[in-house]
Structure 1
Amino acid sequence: MTIEVNRSSWQVTLDVWRAMFLREIVSRISADRLGWVWLLIEPVLHIVLFVAIRQLMGRVRFIPGAEFVPWFVVGMMGFFLFRQAITRSMGAINGNKALFAYRQVQPLDAVLVRCFIEGLLKTLVLLLIVGGATVLEYHILPHDLLGVILIWGFIWLLGTSIGIVLSVLNTVMPETEKVVGLIMLPLYFLSGVMVPIQFLPHALHPYLLLNPITHGIESLRHQFFEHYQTIAGIDLMYMGQWTLCCFFLGLLLHLRYRIRLIAK
C-alpha cells in the first residue's frame, strides 16, 4: 500500500532551502577549519588597522555626533554584509551544479540560501563585536533598535539582489568574479566606510551618492547614533529602487539562461 503525500510548491521550496542550508553550513565547517574563526578575525583586524591609521589622521579623529571606533565598526559591518552577499552568491551556482539534476532544485535556490547564510553569520558577528565594544566601554549600542534591524535587512536585500544578477553573469562569463573583486576595494573607500563623506569635497558628494550602499551605511549609522548627522541627499528610496531593479533583472536573467545555468 502506498501513501501519497501531496505537498504544495511552497512546501517543496522550503524543504529544498532547508536541505541546502544544512549542506552549505556543513560545507563551510569542513572545507576550512579557520573559516568560522576568520569571520570574527577579519573585522577585528580591520578595526585595529584603521584605529591605528586614525592616530595618524587627526582630521578624522572626531566624527560629528559619534565616536570614531563605533562609527567605523557600524559602517564596516554594513559594507561587509553587502560585500559577502555579492561575492558568495557568485559561486553559488557552480558550487551546486550536481544538485540541479533534481528538478525541485533551481539555481536561484542556491543563491538565496548562500545569501541567507551570509546574512545570518554577519548578524552574529555584529552582535559579538557590539557586545565586545560595549564591554570595552565604547558607546555602540543602537539608539533605535528597530531602525537598525530594518536598515540592516535592507542592506542585505541590496547585496542579495545584486548577487542574483552577478550569479548569472559569473556563470556565463567567469571573468565577472575578477572584475567584481577589483571593484570592491575602491568601493570600500568610496562608500564612506573609513573616511566620513562630510569631510570630502562637496563637489564629489553627488557622484558618491550614486553608490546605493552609501545610502545604506549612512542610514545605518543614523539609526545607531542619536546625534549623527548624515549628508544631504541620503535616500532609502534610491536604495530601494536599486534593490527592486536588480532583483527583477536577476530573475529575468535566471529565466533567460536557465538551461546554461543547470548544464554541467
Structure 2
Amino acid sequence: MTTVVKIGGARAVDPEGALADVASLVEDGEDVVLTHGGSTAVDETLEELGEEPTYVETPGGVVGRFTDERTMDVFKMVMPGKLNTDLVESLQNEGVNAVGLSGTDGKLLSGKRKSAVRVKEDGKKKIKRGDHSGKIESVNADLLETVLAGGYTPVVSVPVLGKEKDGGYTAVNADADRAAAAIAGALEADLVLLTDVSGVYEDPDDESTKIDSASTPEAFETVKSAAEGFMTKKVMAAEEALEGGASSVVVADANAEEPISNALAGEGTTLEPGALDTAEVEQ
C-alpha cells in the first residue's frame, strides 16, 4: 500500500518529525509520496520583493489566492525551487533517496487553466481576469509508480500543467491539498494531510471536540459542517481523494511524534470511503 503525505506550509508546521517518519516507513519497505504546500513562503517572498499577495473570496465563501503573472513567477521560484529542494535535501540526510518533481514534470499533474475566476467583492459577484490557476484533472500515476518501483521517494510540488484554449500549456497554481488528493486517488493510496492542529474540531477553538472518524454520510456531514477557514479546503480535498479512489484520508498534527505512523494508526480525524456512499460530492 502506498501512502501519500502532504506537509502543510504554515509557519507553525515543523516538517522534521514527518521527514524522520517518512524515513522509517521507507526503511520498512513502504512506498511514500511526499507532497507539500508553501503559501506562507510565497507570501514572504512577495513581501520581500515589495509586493502584496492577493486573496479573493469565491461566491461560495471560500478564500483563495489570486495568482497573477508575477505571483506565478514567484511560485516557480519558491515551490519547486527552494522548498522542494530543501525537503529532498533533508530526506537524503535521513537516508531516503528522494526525487523532487513538480506537477509540470512528465505531465505529472495537469488540467485546464482558469484565466478568470468568479469572486465576491463588497457583496457583489465579479469576474477577475489574469489568473494563473487550474483544477487538476489528470495524474500521471505511471510516472510515480515508475519512480517508486526504482526505489526512489517522490517529493511533489505545484505548479501543475495548465492547458490553454489554443492547446498550449502554461504552468499554473493549484491548491496543494487538492493536488495531494488527486495523487492519492490515482494511486488508490492512504492520504495523510498534516497540518498545525490535531484534526477537525466540532468547535474550532476546542481541541477536545476533535472528531475521531467519519465512516458514514451522516458523520461526514458533521465534519463538513465543522470545517472552517483553512480546514474547509482540507475537507474538500479529503472528499475528492475518497471520490477518486483513495483508501482513507487522515487530517492530523504535523508536530506530533511520528505524525504519519500515528495518523495511520488512528490519530487525527480519519475519513473513510463509506462516508461518501450517499454524501453529496463538491466539485
Length-normalised TM-score, structure 1: 0.31
| Greater radius of gyration (CA) | 1
Q: Which has the higher contact order (CA 8 A, sep 6+)?
A: 1
